[in-house]
Structure 1
Amino acid sequence: MKANLFILLFCVQFSFSQNTDHLNTVLKQLKLQEKQINVQLFTEKILPYDKSKSVLVVPKYATDIEEGSFTLDAYILVVDNATGKIISKCVELNAWTSDALILTSITIDTGLYHLNKSTRAFGVRVDYRTQSQPNPYSETNLSLYTVNKNVLKPVLHNYNIYRYRGEWDMKCNGEFEDNDSTIDIDKLQTNNFNNLIVKTKITKTKNTFKNEDCVSKETIKKETTKLIFNGKEYK
């Protein structure tokens, strides 16, 4: 048992050390100090279709933290895993704000975003939520990026793919709505990029207190929309 615990702690410590080393390497190249970034929101992931490279998201403070609110610049990087050298980068100023709507996490999405035969995008998902209990709200926004000849470009900007909201008396009575979207790749193209088919499942729930019981009524509908590449980005 002790041996297994030691191995687990060693693996966790080794993994954290690796991530810290990678972060420190890119910060030196960017001429940034660790205190200038939100370390808790920093994330990185190896590209499954090119394991010699990783995507890093470095959230740099664009403003001072005031009563828990702040704005972040987004440094989206592709780095060489062997050396930590930045191969390509995209900097988006004032990309994300955490205020009444709290930015809780940033994750890298390496789904099958094949935009044409030679272009595969990766995504960055940003999650938000509120602290309100009677009026809960959360959302996830997705951005997509492509790399072509070491040039990193955003092609989809903060597109809402998940939203949950509600209003209730914190006992039973209330209404809630859950919008959950997935993205499929269309066979048809516009400006040499495949169209994106967004399929959204909308679940509405109404709770009513009746006969000393909380009764829920749920309705579900589905919607489909299409995003088209205009030569610069998907709209």
Structure 2
Amino acid sequence: MKRFLNVRILFFAPIVLMGLGAPAALAGQNECGGRAAEIIRRAYPSATDADDGTLLFEGATVTLPKDDNADSDPHAVICRVWPVQPQLTLVAVPLMTEQSDSENEGDIELLVADSTNLKIKQRLRLDGLMSDDAVRVRSVAFDTARYQLAPGRTAFGLRVSLEGSSRANPFGETTLWLFSIESDALKPVLDNIVVGESHGEWDTACAGEFSETTRTLSMVASAKSAVADIVVTEKTTTSVNTVGTDNDCNSEDKTTAAKHQLRYDGSGYSVPKDLKRIE
């Protein structure tokens, strides 16, 4: 399966606090408010209309949201007014070059627009982020928890959730990227950390083993830098199911915890390989 991220900087962008399941930061995901078409026209003035209501731009298909339900189509445009800077609206545009039941190919372009006149202020294209096959992209969402690098410097997040189709070998994964606006350009500052993962192998009746990991990010003052460190708090629960003598399904759980500290190196936060999305 091809899953990769090459950052192609077109115009250019800092951070703080959530892992999996941040209701306030993730609620009300799609706030395009019927303005998605106008945003796309401004961002891609050469885009043309297709017969199915989508837009075509340089070989890629852009799907407009049918309503404000962000979970209705992971390939549709989503918008979010940035709470820390409500004069700005965050937009994620899936640019799909191939779509089928077996696989998809596509990028995401992040846009930062003026909330009033929809002028595009910054943009950043993330190559291959919508590409999948057996493990499908289930949802794309903005994370606007207060990821604060330093006073006056705050970043926003983008989460991409994947889901496998196998019942015998269930798999799910949510990955977080963080971005900030610096020198009037959009910049990635944290590349690809898995904040939620679940997988297992079982006989589809009872016997098997399952594992679930959640990671929460929080900002702490750095002893070595004016930019905050990120503490990643990790919790993993492993469950082993067995069939008892009375044919009941018995489960034995084991929970472990760990912490990781990520430090800003002047351009971003380095993520350990074992916390990253599987390529």
Task: State the TM-score bracket (shorter-chain normalisation).
Answer: 0.7 to 0.9
CA drift of 1:147 comes to 0.8
Q: Which amino acid aligns with 1:112?
A: R
Equivalences for 1:58-73 in 2 at 5 Å? 58-61=93-96, 63-73=97-107
* Matched residue, 1:188: 222
What is the distance in 2 between the residues matched to 1:175 and 1:100?
Answer: 21
- TM-score calculated relative to the size of structure 1: 0.86
Deviates more, 1:38-47 or 1:208-217: 38-47
* Matched residue, 2:44: 28
* Matched residue, 2:81: 46
1:165 and 2:199 aligned: yes
CA drift of 1:110 comes to 0.2
More RCO (CA 8 Å, sep 6+): 2
1:18 and 2:52 aligned: no
Structure whose CA Rg is larger: 1
Q: Is the 8 A contact 1:25 1:84 kept in 2?
A: no
1:140 and 2:174 aligned: yes
Deviates more, 1:37-46 or 1:140-149: 37-46
Q: Is the 8 A contact 1:191 1:231 kept in 2?
A: no
The count of corresponding residues between Structure 1 and Structure 2 is 219
Q: Which amino acid aligns with 2:219?
A: I
Equivalences for 1:39-118 in 2 at 5 Å? 39=63, 40=73, 41=75, 42-61=77-96, 63-118=97-152
5+ unaligned residues in a row in structure 2: which ranges? Answer: 1-30, 49-54, 64-72, 271-279
Deviates more, 1:170-179 or 1:148-157: 148-157
The sequence identity of aligned pairs, in percent, is: 25
What is the distance in 2 between the residues matched to 1:214 and 1:126?
Answer: 34
CA drift of 1:164 comes to 0.2
CA drift of 1:55 comes to 0.3
Cα deviation 1:70-109 (Å, max 9, x = unaligned): 2222211110111111011112222342112101110000
What is the distance in 2 between the residues matched to 1:43 and 1:189?
Answer: 38
> Structure 2 residue aligned with 1:233, among 240, 265, 268?
268
Deviates more, 1:66-75 or 1:160-169: 66-75
Q: Is the 8 A contact 1:114 1:120 kept in 2?
A: yes
Where is the strand percentage greater, Structure 1 or Structure 2? 1
Deviates more, 1:187-196 or 1:122-131: 187-196
CA drift of 1:17 comes to 5.9
> Structure 2 residue aligned with 1:177, among 190, 211, 214?
211
TM-align CA RMSD: 1.9
Q: Is the 8 A contact 1:53 1:78 kept in 2?
A: yes
1:152 and 2:176 aligned: no
Q: Is the 8 A contact 1:37 1:58 kept in 2?
A: no
What is the distance in 1 between the residues matched to 2:254 and 2:47?
Answer: 50
